[in-house]
Chain A
Amino acid sequence: MTFNYIVVYPAGVVSRRQGGILGYLGEFEQLILFSVLQLGNGAYGVAIRETIEARTGRVVSAGAIYTALGRLEERGLVASRTESPQEGRTGRPRKFYRLRPDGARALRESYDTIQAMAGGLLPRLDELAGG
Chain B
Amino acid sequence: MSGTREPASRPLRPPRVWALVARLLLRGQSGRLVRGELNEAFRRELERGVPPRQARIRYARNVAGSLWSLAFAAARGLVTHGALLDVKLGARMLRKQPMLAAVAMLALGLGIPAALSVHHVTRVALRPLPVPEGERVLGIRHWSLHPRGDPPSTVHDLEAWRASLHAFQGIGAVHSTLVNVLTGEAGTPPVRASEVTASTFEILRATPVLGRAFSVTDEVPGAPRVVLLSEGLWASRFARDPDIVGRTVRIGGDEHVIVGVMPSSFRFPAADALWLPLRADPVALGPDEGSDLLVFGRLADGASEADADAELAVVTARRAADDPTRFEQLVPEIVGMTVLLMGESDFSPTDPGLLFVHALISLLLLVVCGNVGTLMLARTANRMGELSIRTALGASRRRILVQLFVEALVMALLATGSGLLVAEVFARWLTERAQQLGDLPYWLDLTLDPGIVATALGLAAASAALAGVLPALRATGGGVQANLQRTASGRSTMRFGLGSSLLIVCEVALSVGFLAMGGTVVRSLFQGRDGRLGFEPERYVQGTLAQRAGAVRGDFEGEDAPAEIARRARTQQELLRRLAEDDGVRGVGLGVRVPGADPFTRWVALESEPDDAEWHRVQWSPVDIAYFSGLHRPVLQGRDFTSADLEAGPHGHRTATIVNTGFVAHVLGGRNAIGQRFRLAGGGDPDAAPAWYEIVGVVGPFGTNPLNPSKDEAMYFPLGPGEASPARYLIEVGGDSRAFPARLRQIAASVDPQATIEDATPVSDVIERESSLYRLLFLLQLGLSAIAFLLPLTGLYALMSFTVAQRTREIGIRTALGAQAWRIVSTIGRRAALQLAVGVTLGAGWAWMLLVELTGDSMVMEVDIPLTITVTMAVAAVVGVAACASPTLRGLRIQPTEALRES
Contact = CB atoms under 8 A, between A and B. Distances in A.
Interface of A: 45-46, 49-50, 59-67, 70-71, 92-95
B29 to A, nearest CB: 10
A64 B38 CA distance: 12
Contacts of B70: 63, 66-67
B54 to A, nearest CB: 12
B37 A45 contact: yes
Contact of A66 (B37, B44, B61, B64): B37
Contacts of B65: 60-64
Nearest to A62: B37
Interface string B20-49: 000000000010011011101100100000
Given A66-B30, A66-B69, A61 B40 contact: no
A49 B38 CA distance: 11
A46 B37 contact: yes
Contacts of B72: 67
B207 interface: no
16 contacts: A45-B34, A50-B44, A61-B61, A61-B64, A61-B66, A62-B34, A62-B37, A62-B62, A62-B65, A63-B66, A64-B65, A66-B37, A66-B66, A66-B69, A92-B36, A93-B33
A67 B26 CA distance: 13
Given A63-B34, A63-B65, A67-B73, 18 more contacts: A46-B37, A49-B41, A50-B41, A61-B64, A61-B66, A61-B68, A62-B38, A63-B62, A63-B70, A65-B37, A66-B37, A66-B66, A66-B69, A67-B69, A92-B36, A92-B40, A93-B36, A95-B33
A70 B33 CA distance: 12
Given A92-B36, A95-B33, A63 B67 contact: yes
A59 B38 CA distance: 13
Interface string B51-93: 0000000100111111111101100000000000000000000
Given A46-B37, A66-B33, A92-B40, A59 B66 contact: no
B776 to A, nearest CB: 46
Contacts of A60: 65
Contacts of A61: 61-66, 68-69
B84 to A, nearest CB: 14
Contacts of B38: 62
A119 to B, nearest CB: 34
Nearest to B62: A61
Contact of B66 (A62, A71, A93): A62
A46 B41 contact: yes
B55 to A, nearest CB: 13
A46 B70 CA distance: 16
Contacts of A71: 73
A70 B31 CA distance: 13
A51 to B, nearest CB: 12
A66 B40 contact: no
Contacts of A95: 33
Contacts of A59: 58, 61
Contact of B68 (A63, A65, A92, A93): A63
The 10 A-B residue pairs with the shortest CB-CB distance in the complex, in nearest-first order:
A63-B66, A61-B65, A63-B69, A62-B37, A67-B73, A92-B36, A64-B69, A45-B37, A61-B66, A63-B70
A117 B72 CA distance: 32
Contacts of A46: 37, 40-41, 44
Interface of A (DSSP majority class): helix
B66 A70 contact: no
A35 B36 CA distance: 20
Nearest to A92: B36
A63 B58 CA distance: 14
Contacts of A67: 69-70, 72-73
A66 B38 CA distance: 11
A62 to B, nearest CB: 4
Given A63-B34, A63-B66, A64-B66, A70 B73 contact: yes
Nearest to B73: A67
B34 A66 contact: yes
Contacts of B67: 63
Contacts of A66: 30, 33-34, 37, 66, 69-70
A89 B68 CA distance: 32
A60 B64 CA distance: 11
- Residue of A60, A61, A63 with highest tally of chain B CB at under 10 A: A63
A80 to B, nearest CB: 11
A75 B61 CA distance: 29
Nearest to B36: A92
Contacts of B63: 61
B820 to A, nearest CB: 63
Contacts of B34: 45, 62-63, 66
Nearest to A61: B65
A105 B375 CA distance: 55
Contacts of A64: 65-66, 69
A66 to B, nearest CB: 5
- Residue of A45, A60, A71, A94 with highest tally of chain B CB at under 10 A: A45
A63 B72 CA distance: 10
Contacts of B68: 61, 63
A94 to B, nearest CB: 8
A49 to B, nearest CB: 6
A60 B70 CA distance: 13
A62 B62 CA distance: 6
Nearest to A95: B33
A40 B36 CA distance: 21
A59 B63 CA distance: 12
A95 B34 CA distance: 10
Contacts of A63: 34, 62, 65-70
Contacts of B64: 61
- Residue of A64, A70, A94 with highest tally of chain B CB at under 10 A: A64
B349 to A, nearest CB: 41
Contacts of B37: 45-46, 49, 62, 65-66
A48 B770 CA distance: 77
Interface string B534-568: 00000000000000000000000000000000000
B41 A62 contact: yes
Contacts of A45: 33-34, 37
- Residue of A60, A92, A95 with highest tally of chain B CB at under 10 A: A92
A57 to B, nearest CB: 14
A81 to B, nearest CB: 13
A70 B66 CA distance: 14
Nearest to A65: B37
Contacts of A65: 37
A64 B61 CA distance: 12
Contacts of B58: 59
- Residue of B34, B38, B72 with highest tally of chain A CB at under 10 A: B34
A50 B40 CA distance: 11
A67 B70 CA distance: 7
- Residue of B58, B68, B69 with highest tally of chain A CB at under 10 A: B69
A71 B34 CA distance: 15
A126 to B, nearest CB: 32
A62 B63 CA distance: 8
Nearest to A71: B73
- Residue of A45, A50, A62 with highest tally of chain B CB at under 10 A: A62
Contacts of B33: 45, 66, 93, 95
A65 B61 CA distance: 14
A95 B41 CA distance: 14
A46 B63 CA distance: 13
Nearest to B66: A63
Contacts of B44: 46, 50
Contacts of B62: 61-63
A63 B66 CA distance: 4
- Residue of A61, A66, A95 with highest tally of chain B CB at under 10 A: A61
